Amino acid sequence: MNDTIPPNDDDGDPGRHGRPTKLTDALFRAFVDLLLRGSFRSTACGELGVAPATFRRWLRNGKAYPEGIYADFRRAVAAAESRAEHQMVARIVAAAAEDWQAAAWLLERKYPHRYGELGELKREVRELEKKMRDLGLDPPKSDEAEDDEPTG
């Protein structure tokens, strides 16, 4: 190693040499704030002038080195995204008490095999297969397992 370059100990790898990270405390907080408000990672990168590849590298570094700014950043990103998701789902659930469309939207996405368009298509196929059998016809064999039947 080149001993003339001081160690870069801000990233959790004390033996690493090189320039200091561009992930400053202000940039760290700005990313977390945008993600808490529901921004996509790529949108936050664009807003803050950080290449998405750089953002992904910071997250990889956080996984590789469990101490330091990158590890803290990785944990903060995960926590911010989880919190934002929880807050948005809570708003949809609250709206569902008064608006059936909010409830339908959530069901379609949480249980697409039961309530989504694919679930409806499967129900229609089963009805057509039954009608074919009633007419003495042999419907084509389905590769789908029947364990995703609606329970209600």
Q: Are residues 36 and 90 in the same domain?
A: yes
pLDDT over 70 (residue 143): no
Q: Are residues 48 and 81 in the same domain?
A: yes
Q: Are residues 44 and 16 in the same domain?
A: yes
Q: Are residues 18 and 93 in the same domain?
A: yes
Q: Are residues 85 and 134 in the same domain?
A: no
Range(s) of the domain holding residue 148: 111-152
Q: Are residues 41 and 78 in the same domain?
A: yes
Number of domains in the chain: 2
Q: What is the pTM of this model?
A: 0.65
In a domain, 3, yes or no: no
In a domain, 143, yes or no: yes
Amino acid identity, position 104 = A
Q: What is the pLDDT of residues 93-142, one digit of tens each?
A: 999 999 999 999 999 888 887 887 776 777 788 889 999 999 898 888 76
